Amino acid sequence: MKDSEHLIRLAAVFAGGLLFFVVIRSFFVPSSFGLYGHYRADAIKDVAALQVVHAGHEACEGCHSDVADLKNKGKHAHVNCEACHGPQGQHANDPMSVKPPLPDPAKLCVTCHEANAAKPRSFPQIVAKDHAGDVACNTCHVPHNPRIGDAPAPAHSEVKK
Ligand code: HEC
Ligand code: HEC
Ligand code: HEC
Ligand code: HEC
């Protein structure tokens, strides 16, 4: 056992390395880690504290039943309010102080309908430049019931820039 000195030295290096790892780890692992499972238990509280930004279409329909009735008769029946209007939870909680901006059809409609080979063929698509030129989509289509003839003529029938 005369030559065991270098083995002890090697073991000491490993032991030192292990201690270093444990100390450093204790600085970086959050205190609530592992309380319920392999994650930070406080993350549940953090997520629960986030504000709900979407109200859900049922909420919108409760107050805007006229829009809902028109929409449910047309091709956009399954496109929900906040898909076009964006998250409106704050408006739904306090409609008088938070008024949602109206979406701009020139930007909105093409996000879903601009032709793209990656979309299913059965999905209605247009090449906006050829289909409408500079004329706003809602000059001809009613956003809440878009198929021409299915809904009363658009309210905004003057050509928008
Ligand atoms: C508690 C009733 C209520 C709920 C719920 C509600 N709204 Fe409203 N909304 C109103 C009222 C009232 C106004 C008119 C506010 C005004 O004129 O200042 C309004 C206005 C709007 C406008 C603007 C209309 C305009 O002419 O500028 C939009 C768009 C709208 N709401 C969309 C929504 C959407 C989308 C939802 C669901 C996320 C929703 N609302 C939920 C009551 C409600
Ligand atoms: C396909 C997109 C789309 C969907 C889905 C949609 N909206 Fe709209 N909405 C619009 C656009 C675009 C306008 C602006 C119309 C304009 O400026 O002529 C608008 C306008 C409105 C207005 C202003 C008054 C009016 O009738 O023009 C209200 C209120 C409104 N939407 C509520 C709703 C509610 C509630 C829902 C769900 C039941 C809904 N919208 C679903 C696109 C949509
Ligand atoms: C969030 C995606 C989305 C947005 C934004 C959207 N649409 Fe649609 N649109 C749809 C879906 C989904 C259908 C139903 C497709 C089907 O029946 O297969 C549809 C159907 C239509 C149709 C009927 C096509 C037909 O003849 O069957 C027209 C026209 C139309 N949309 C125009 C518009 C206009 C104009 C706007 C802007 C105001 C708009 N859409 C915004 C998703 C959208
Ligand atoms: C000058 C009037 C006019 C304007 C502006 C217009 N459309 Fe149309 N659109 C029509 C007519 C007419 C049809 C065929 C009848 C129908 O399906 O309602 C049509 C059909 C469609 C269809 C169905 C295509 C299909 O394959 O079934 C979509 C989607 C559509 N338009 C979206 C739009 C979008 C998005 C805009 C704005 C970029 C727009 N339209 C602007 C008149 C117009």
Query: Counting every residue, how long is the chain?
Result: 161
Q: Per mean pLDDT, which range of 13-17, 55-59, 148-152, 155-159 is the poorest?
A: 155-159
The predicted structure's pLDDT at residue 152: 79
144 in contact with ligand 3, CB cutoff 6 A: no
Residue in 61, 64, 80, 98 to alter for ligand 1 test, most ligand atoms within 8 A of Cβ: 64
135 in contact with ligand 4, CB cutoff 6 A: yes
**Residue 70 pLDDT more than 90?**
yes
Long-range contact set of residues 117-125: C-beta below 8 Å, sequence gap at least 24: 124/75
Q: What percent of the chain has pLDDT over 90?
A: 88
**Residue 160 pLDDT more than 60?**
no
**Residue 157 pLDDT more than 50?**
no
The predicted structure's pLDDT at residue 122: 96
On whether the CB atoms of residues 160 and 136 are closer than 8 A, the answer is: yes
The predicted structure's pLDDT at residue 155: 66
What is the overall mean pLDDT for the chain?
93
Spacing of C-alpha 146 from chain mean position: 24
**Residue 110 pLDDT more than 70?**
yes
Task: Give the integer Cα–Cα distance in Å for 116 and 112.
Answer: 10
